[in-house]
Structures are given as structure tokens and as C-alpha cells.
A and B are shown apart, each in its own frame.
Chain A
Amino acid sequence: MKICLLSYRGNPYCGGQGIYLMYLARELVKLGHEVHTVVGPPYPFEMEGVTSHYISNHNYFNVKKNYIKPHKPFATLQPLNLYEFIASKLGIFPEIETFSFRAFLKMKEILKTHRFDVIHDNQCLGYGFLMIKLFGIPFVSTIHHPLSIDRSTWFEYPSDFNLKIKRVLYYPLIMQAFVANRLDRIITVSHDSAVEIHRAFGVPGKKISVVYNGMDSSIFYPKKNMKKKKNSIIFVGNVEDRKKGVIYLFKAMTMLKNKATLTIVDGGAPNRNFIPRLIDKFGLNDRIIFTGKITVERLIELYSQHEVAVFPSLYEGFGFPAAEAMACELPVVTTTGGALPEVVGNHMDTAYVVEPRDPEGLAGGIDYMLDNPAFARRMGQKARKRILSLFTWENAALELEKIYREVIIAHR
């Protein structure tokens, strides 16, 4: 098959979308398919056997100053760029929408020399895709989870009226619901996400297929001969993302019997005053370490040096960090938020699972793991087995191949 993957952000270090794109492209090539990617910045690394087509943007939403490029001073006055500029200044996040229109223009060019059997979008769902659909090629999209969940978890935190207005404008839910209902198939990464997509966007259940993400066991494995730091816990994720529930972890830290130290792995943190203020409030200044941006090799070392990994998420569409920690044989204390139970398995078997927003439960779980290292070690070993048996990118690619064939047949 000739497959075109679309992703408005392509780099694996910019989040789950980039990881998804990289592994899927690689596995689909291994299965003998011709894979092209149409990607926005930050761009992915070069992948063997994959043809990449790049789409630029000016990132007006994040770049507040010096957005005029000296070599292209009038670019901002071009219609799509001017729209992106005005929308950004009004607090709207236009990157997704403008990517879809730019992708349409790019596809027009590409289709002069290529003919794709299927186009697969990665959580963009911009209006421009409806124009791409007019080319008559089967079009599917992966929704990792509906953004309505990000919006509602964000509203759980105190904020003023102006900030709430910005948040309502930020998430393009109307557009994504409109487009999702007009594509040939929606793919998602967990059964919980499928239910949420149906609830948020009204996509009929029969149009949604679940394909679990994979885990690269050649990268994430337990390092031998690494000494564990006593009473050490680790959290990996974006602390500014309200649905990660890091505040409940801070509260849990104040309730621990063991005086544990927490390592936070988040490339950007602490980049705003939200998290430092909370750390001050809970009196945790001497018990939290931020690593800043680190390499994957360093992350695996850190997993091996810590006793427990904690993921206090209010919601996860899949939960890559929990699966990574489990693949490294680290006992995980987490919640039943979203798809986490599907990924981590049963309570007290492959993970310690509590309800979301339950700091007492989290504290109890962390203390239990710290007090029972033999049990924690056995749990870590079972966790790795679970991840390796259920979540592989090979399986994900094979499942997707089946879905592509179904969609192509239905499209004829």
C-alpha cells in the first residue's frame, strides 16, 4: 500500500504525536508499504524508507516577539499567515487549522506524482482535511483522546475569568467534532478513549477502531547494576498539563510516612510560576528535583535509580510514561484515570492503582512500595512482562494495516 501519514508536529520529543508517527512509519515500512509523511515543525528525524514532506508555520501563538523573519519580512501578510497571526493574538490556537489547509496545498503538489491508497491523520482534524477528502482517497484519523478532557481538567484549577475565556478559545473542539464525523474511520489508542470520543464528538461507535500504542522494549529495559536511591520516586510528564494531576502528588508527598524525594522529568519545567508556587505552598522545596530536558538514555538510568514511579493523572488517553516505567521494571503507583487501567493492568498485580484525585491513596501506595521492596520488585517484573506481551508497535502496525484494507474496500 502507499500510505500518507499527516502530523502537524512531527518530532518525537514534542510529545506523543511525534512518537506515534515515528514508530508507525517505521513499522509500516517494515511491513513492505510505501510511507510518506506530511509534517509540521518541529520536524521528525529522517527515517529510513520514509519520504518526508515538510510544511512550515510561523508559530505566532508561541513566538510573541521577533516573529518577522528578516529574509521573508512580508510572509505574515499572506492570507493564511495573517489569519494565523490575528487568531493567535485573539487567543485562538490556529496551528491545527492552518496546518490542515497547508497540508491540502501540499497534497495537491504531491498528488501530481504520487497516488496514495490511504491518508492517515494524527490528531489534527482541521477543516482543510475536508478539502483533501475531495481528492477521493480514503481518509482516517487517530484521536489519542478528545481535547474536551484537557479543557475540563483545566477548569478544575482556580483561574480568573480572562484565563477561562482563553482556555475556551484555545481548544478547537467544534472543528474537530465536525471533521471527525466526516472521515472514513477514527482510530484511537484505548477503549476508554473510544467512549470519550463518542461522548465528546458524537462519532458513532462503529466508526471507531481501537489500536493500542506500542512500547519500544529495545529502548526501555531495566538497566543492570544500577543502585536504587533510597526513598526515591519519579514522575515523568508535563507538569503544566493539568490532567497529569501533579498537584495531587504534591499533596500526597506531605502525607507520606517515608520522607521520599521526588524527581520530576519534564523538559520545560519549571517554566511558569504555577508549579513553584504549589511547591512553596506544600513546603516541598527540599524534596523535589527538576531534571530539565534529558536524553532517553538518561531517562532509563533514572528509572533504574528510583524505587517507585508515580503517575497521578486525572485522565490519560493511553499513558506512555507509565508504560515506559513498567517496561523498565519499575513499580508504578497510578490512578484509574482514563485508559490507565487498560495499560497498567490489575491493582496489586502489575501496578498499584487508586482513584484519581486521591492524595491519601497515592501516599498509601507510595509508602507500601517503599516499605515492601521485594513485593515492589516482583510487581515491576510482572509489569514489564505485561507491557512486552500487549503493547508492541508491530502489533499496532498490523492492526492498522487491517483497518486500512477495510476502509479502502468500503470506499470503492
Chain B
Amino acid sequence: MNTVPKLASVRPPIPRAKIYGILAILVSAALAALFCYAVYFLKLDIYNFEDGSLQAMHSATYYALAVPIGLVTLFVIGTGFWIGWTILTIKVVPPMPEIVDKKDHSKFKAFLLCLFTMALAGLLLYGLYLRNFWALAIPATAISLVVLGAVFWVGIAIITTRSTLPEHKKES
């Protein structure tokens, strides 16, 4: 007499979408790790550092890296400054006293944000002028991690998305 195999023992194949989701997570995580390792741990093996300076690097090579990274970073810092400046300088009618629950410190925080972004921009430009390794490495890390982080996030969403209807919905 033939026996029917138990349903539980038959594993459905992993849907293709989930495989790509897992791949997106693994590849983005691996690239992020590789980037950090290359920039922060391999550096002494790659370049001949003198206090983190890239003076030994050919000028063309240096500016090929420094100009795009510097521009993108200045754009991000500039956006931060613009946000602070807008909050600091926007002129509006004060709110109705009845709806004010607590004191608003936004203007002070906006002032601090302006100061912080200006200092950061100054530091970046000075670091690039000195050809300091960190002036390139830190912004590049931040930008890369944001993009890779987004891909990682999407990957998580893909593998956690239900690709078929749940059982109770099928029945109804």
C-alpha cells in the first residue's frame, strides 16, 4: 500500500523574489563591511601615511576623489545650514497663547545647527586643503552607508513581504 508523504515534510521552494531580497541584504552588508575595512583597517597597507596625510598621492588622483566627495558633502552640510537658517529667520505671527504648552527652543537649536554646520564645512575644507585622509574617508563612509543602508532596508522589506495570501484570507 502506497503511503502519502506528510504535507509538513514537503518544503515549498523559496520564491525567487525572496532569494533576490536575501542577495540584496547580503551584498549591501558585505559591501558596507568591505568599504569600512578598506578605508579604516587596510589604510596603512595601502598608503604611506604620515599623520593620515595623502600628500604622497598624485594630485590628479587626489582631486578625482576629493572634488566629488567634497561637493556632495558640502551639499549635505549646506542643506543642514539652510534648514537652521530658515528656522532661525522665518518671520511668523506668534501662536495663540491658549495652544502653547511649552516653551519653544527651536530658534536657539537652529542657531546651534547653523554654527555646527559652518564649523563642519570649515573643517572639511581645511581637511581637504591639507589632503587629510579623514576628510575624504568620513564623508565617503557616511554617503555610502546611507545608500547601502537603504538597499539593506529594501532587502529586509522584500524578504518580509508576504508573497501569497494568508490562509484565513484564502478561505474567505
What residues of chain A have their CB less than 8 Å away from a CB belonging to chain B? 66-68, 70, 73-74, 76-77, 82, 85-86, 89, 151-153, 155-161, 164-165, 168-169, 247-248, 251, 278, 281-282, 357
Contacts and interface: CB of A to CB of B under 8 A. Distances in A.
Interface in B119-133: none
Contacts of B110: 161, 164
Contacts of A159: 104, 106
Interface in B49-102: 82-83, 86-87, 90-96, 98-102
14 contacts: A70-B161, A70-B164, A74-B158, A76-B158, A151-B90, A152-B91, A158-B95, A158-B99, A159-B106, A160-B106, A164-B106, A165-B83, A168-B87, A357-B96
B150 interface: yes
Contacts of B151: 77, 82
Contacts of B92: 152-153, 155-156
Contact of B20 (A66, A74, A151, A152): A74
Given A66-B161, A86-B150, A247 B21 contact: no
Contacts of A160: 104, 106
Given A164-B106, A251-B98, A281-B98, A152 B150 contact: no
A74 B1 CA distance: 47
Contacts of B163: 70, 73
B161 A281 contact: no
Contact of A68 (B90, B161, B164): B161
A158 B162 contact: no
Which secondary structure dominates chain B's binding surface? helix
Nearest to B85: A168
Which secondary structure dominates chain A's binding surface? helix
B87 A76 contact: no
A158 B20 contact: no
Name the residue in B102, B150, B163, B164 with the highest tally of chain A Cβ atoms < 10 Å from its Cβ. B150
Contacts of A82: 150-151, 154
B17 interface: yes
Name the residue in B20, B146, B147, B161 with the highest tally of chain A Cβ atoms < 10 Å from its Cβ. B161
A159 B158 CA distance: 35
A281 B87 contact: no
B17 A157 contact: no
A251 B97 CA distance: 11
Contact of A77 (B24, B106, B161): B24
Contacts of A156: 92-95
B127 to A, nearest CB: 25
A1 to B, nearest CB: 41
Nearest to B82: A168
Contacts of B94: 156
Given A86-B146, A251-B96, A155 B154 contact: no
A153 B90 CA distance: 11
A82 B150 CA distance: 8
Nearest to B17: A73
B53 to A, nearest CB: 33
A161 B98 contact: no
Nearest to A152: B92
Nearest to B112: A161
A160 B87 CA distance: 11
A67 B150 CA distance: 14
Given A152-B90, A247-B96, A357-B93, A68 B24 contact: no
Contacts of B91: 152
A169 B83 contact: yes
